[in-house]
Each structure stands twice: as structure tokens, then as C-alpha cells.
Structure 1
Amino acid sequence: MKLVDPLYGTFEVEDVIAELIETDAIQRLKKIHQGGASYLINPKWCVNRYDHSVGVCLLIRKLGGSIEEQIAGLLHDISHTAFSHVVDYVLKNKQEDYHEEIFENILNQSEIPKVLSENGFHHKDILSRNWGILEQDFPDLCADRVDYTLRDMYTYGVISKKEVNTFLSTLLVSNGKICINSIESAGWFVSTYIKVVIDFFLNPYNVYGNQQFAQILQFSLESEIITLEDLQQDDESVLEMLWKNPNEKLKNLLQQLHPNVLVEDNEDEYDIHVRKKTRIVDPLVYIGGKTKRASEVSKTVRKQNKEALEKSLKGAFVKIINS
């Protein structure tokens, strides 16, 4: 199978990856929006978890990761529920990791173990390992973190393809971790990442869309209109299920999700205040045969991260002007 990605280019992939991509579990991700319910407010926020998952797989490949780690990258988001992290807001899950809690169960119920077995792999061998390129704790870089940053910001027109290519050319893997061989490139990525976690994640329209939908899900679960298991479908299916229900309160809540909503940042008079999971990156920079944190080398990075941390801890204050 030939895969063409707007960020990483064209790749010819092995049969096992091609077959996994065609499974229902992976295809379902085409209808799971990465930004949760925010696309109902702004249809341009349309990145899906399928493109991200394939992208993570290809980025790992580009960085020299094994076929097993590429498979792990492709599969890492299969357990995301409809509307992605909105379920975490409903469950008051500050780590935003409900999808990780149900991952093994979702995997075992899928056709993925069979596909892997038929191609000479065992899912437990692949998914029980800690893959250094795929996942790292903050503040390190990892393929997951790099891909959603580049993909979101490129798709939404914040960064250019030239900037993406320049950044990718500076990446390398040292001692199993993604590093950058240029302090300028590291500073660019820190700045770009902050745009994701502050300007996008805490955008008042993004916050409103997801908090409003969390309220809808909360009401629907408490009223037994849906179950948590229903959320293992996709965005379209869950939304259709909700709209078909005759409950008047539910219909009223749903009608408040549309592109003509008007909200604003307003710390003095606000209807919604949220703090998201704190996300700060401080990339490892590999220069002169030595590895250091970008913040050790760059005052700009230190200042940017300090300001981003303060904003993140303060959270978003959203005033609803018209819903």
C-alpha cells in the first residue's frame, strides 16, 4: 500500500500496516474529531484521529523506528471514544486518559489481534512495550506530540509546509528519544506547541464547544439516554442518536451548538472557567555530541514556557454572548 501524507510525504508500507489500516477499528477514527465537539462550532477544526494515527506511524518510520513501533503508533488511538477527550470532562478525569483505561478491552474486541497474528506478530508483544519514539512523558518530544502539533497547526494555516520540512530535517533519535539538532528549530517548535495548547486548546470557541457537549453527555448519561459503551461508536453516530431522542431538555442543549455562537475571553465576567491538562514541552537539543534541554540553552524558550505555564494554570475564562 502507498500512503501519502501532507506532512511526511509518500511511503510504501508493509502488508501488515496496510491490513491494519483497513480494519474497522482504524477506519472508525476517520469519524472521530481530534478537537472533540469544537468542529460543531467551527467546521474548519476538522482534523481526525485517523490522519493523526497514520501520521504518527509514518513519523516513527521516518525517524527509523521499527515496524513494531510503527504498528504501536498506528494503533495508539483506537480506543478514543466519540468526541475524543470530551468524555474525560464528563468523568472529571484530569489526566484525560479514559481512552487508555479502556484500550486493552477495545483492542481485544477488534479484529486487530487476528490481523497481527496472521502477519507473524503478537499484539501483546507490541503493545506491552514502552516505545521511546512513540510516547514520552512531558516535557520530552514524542511522535504523538510532534504529529498533533504539526498537523493541527498546518491544517489550520498557522504554519507552512516549508516550516514543517525545515523542522523535520532537524529531528534525530538519540538514546531512544527524539532530539533536535538546532536550538533555533527547538525554539520554533516550542512556540508552535504553545499555539496549540494556549491559542487552540484554550480558544474560547473550542472551550465552549467541548464544555457544552460535555454538559450534553452528562445529562444524556444520567438520563440513561446513552451509555458509556455507546460512545465507542463515532461522532456522527452518537450525534444522530442524541438528536433522535425526544427529550426536550436535550434538544435545547443541542441547539446551542452551532457556528453562529458568539463567545469571548472575559476574566471579569465569565460563564465558563476551565483548566486543561498542563502541557509544556522542553525539547532535548543535540549539539556537539551532547544533549541539553532547550531551556538550558535558550532564554527565549525559558520565557515562553514560563508564560505558557502561567496561562495554562490560570485556564480559560469564557463569556457566552449569544448561543
Structure 2
Amino acid sequence: MIDYVLEQKEENYHETIYEQIVAQSSIPPILKSTGLNWQDILLDESQWTLLEQNAPHLCADRVDYTLRDLYVCGEITLQEVHTFLDQLVVFNGQMACSNLSAAEWFVDAYYREVIGFFMNPLNMFGNYQLTKIIKLALQKDILSIEDFLKQDDDVVRLLKNAGDSSIEGVLSALFNSKVQKGTASCHDVHQTTKMRWVDPLVIGSDGAAPVSQLSLTAKRVIEEAKQKIEKGVYLSIQAPL
């Protein structure tokens, strides 16, 4: 959501403050106690080739947040998580699935995450409304950039205790509005997000190929998801009386 506040379309604010956050954490002394230099390990990502990969390839980051979020939300079981992880392999420096069913399963899981969670109307409305609130609070010096590093409850407390009527009004709308899906012709807010998509490689006798080339089902899911992401979410909002 902070990316919306700072209007960073790449949604990578967390990456710009990565070194600062790690330097101030308990990680450097822990690594130093074992004879390791945190900067050598954590600031040179070129040595960790599976950590980040350009879409639509799998990478540790995409696999991690997808499995973790869906498991915590009760969408998948721990057994499913381990079953999928057991079928991940590395092929020519790329993360891939050892069989077609694993790739199809992850495609379905990933778009449940992106469409069902990231683009859920309530989530999109929360981002929209919080963006308005925090932009306003920054303009009024109620919040500073440093406050972004605090816990959600701490930031909300600062906003509520500011005694600013305009902030209070937007906060009330955040917590009390009724939000539903709208349409292109009838909506109050249109929210978009960056394109997130995957097309996992599958290992076969002739090498590796994207799952979309091997499975009509996966190809359909991917194409439909990309269309939904490009379209964004239309929101119908009923503000509190």
C-alpha cells in the first residue's frame, strides 16, 4: 500500500529500504557471531539465483508468499505444501516442476492468491482508502516516512489521536463502508495492481517447457487471470451514514 502512497508503480518500496532495515536488525550480529559477513550474504543477490526471477518463472519469493499466505488462510493444507515442494527441481538455473500435475496445481494456487486475495474487493478498497489517509496525513505532518516502519496498530493510533476531522472522516469510511464489486459502467473506484503471473517450467524427456504449452487447462487459467489483472477491480462503495 505504501507503494501507492509514494506512487511507485513497480511496487518495490520495500526493496529500497532493504539494506537499512537489515542493518538495524539483529541479523548482522547473529551472523557475525558465526564468522559471517551479512553484507556479503544479503546484499549480493547475484549469488542467490533462485531468490528472484522475472515473471513468469518460478522463484523462491513467489513460491514462498503463495504457499505461506494460502496455508495461513486455510486455502491449502500443509501436506499439499510439502507435496509441491518435493516436486520442485532446478533445471539450467531455473526453478521448475518435475511433473505436469505439480505445475498445474501451483498455477491454480498462485491465481487464487493474486485474484482471490490481492485483488479481493475489500483488500483493494483497504489499499485505496489507506492511501488517501496516509497521503493526507503526510501532507499535514501527522505522519512521517519513518512511521511506515511501525506496526499497523501504532500507525492507526497516531491517526486517530491526531484530532484532525478530515483524517477521522476518511478513517471512518475505511472501517465502516460497505464494499461490493462494481462494473465498468457503474462503480465508485477503479483499482489496478501490477501484473503478477506465472507459467512454471515442467521437466520432460526433451527438457523443460512452460506448463501453458503442455496443459490447455493451465493455459486457460493463465490467460483468464492475466485479463482480470489487466482489467483491475471496480468497487461499489456505500459510505457510512
Q: TM-score, normalised by structure 1?
A: 0.69
Displacement, 1:315? 0.4
Is 1:161 paired with 2:40?
A: no
| CA deviation vs aligned residue, 1:251-310 (integer Å, no higher than 9, x gap) | 12112233x542111112111111101001011111236111111211222221111111
Displacement, 1:168? 2.1
Displacement, 1:193? 0.6
Match of 1:119 in 2: 34
SS for the counterpart of 2:174 is coil
2:187 is aligned, of 260, 270, 274, to 270
Distance 2:203 2:86 in 1: 13
Distance 1:215 1:224 in 2: 14
CA RMSD of aligned residues (A): 1.7
1:106 is aligned, of 21, 43, 63, to 21
Is 1:208 paired with 2:89?
A: no
Match of 1:93 in 2: 8
Q: Which has the higher contact order (CA 8 A, sep 6+)?
A: 2
What are the residue-to-residue correspondences of 1:27-66 with 2, within 5 Å? none
2:60 is aligned, of 138, 143, 147, to 143
Displacement, 1:189? 0.7
Match of 1:247 in 2: 164
SS for the counterpart of 1:256 is helix
Unmatched 5+ stretches in structure 1:
1-85
Question: Could you tell me which amino acid in structure 2 is paired with residue 162 of structure 1?
Answer: Q
Displacement, 1:322? 4.1
Q: How many residues align?
A: 237
SS for the counterpart of 1:132 is coil
Q: Is the 8 A contact 2:191 2:234 kept in 1?
A: yes
Question: Could you tell me which amino acid in structure 2 is paired with residue 163 of structure 1?
Answer: E
Unmatched 5+ stretches in structure 2:
none
Distance 1:233 1:295 in 2: 42
SS for the counterpart of 1:255 is helix
Q: Is the 8 A contact 2:121 2:181 kept in 1?
A: yes
Distance 2:80 2:20 in 1: 39
Question: Could you tell me which amino acid in structure 1 is paired with residue 69 of structure 2?
Answer: D
Match of 2:149 in 1: 232
Distance 1:114 1:152 in 2: 30
Question: Could you tell me which amino acid in structure 2 is paired with residue 125 of structure 1?
Answer: D
| CA deviation vs aligned residue, 1:5-27 (integer Å, no higher than 9, x gap) | xxxxxxxxxxxxxxxxxxxxxxx
Displacement, 1:205? 0.8
Distance 1:170 1:107 in 2: 32
Distance 1:319 1:277 in 2: 21
Structure with higher Rg: it is: 2
Percent identity (aligned): 40
SS for the counterpart of 2:173 is coil
SS for the counterpart of 1:242 is helix
Q: TM-score, normalised by structure 2?
A: 0.91
Match of 1:309 in 2: 226
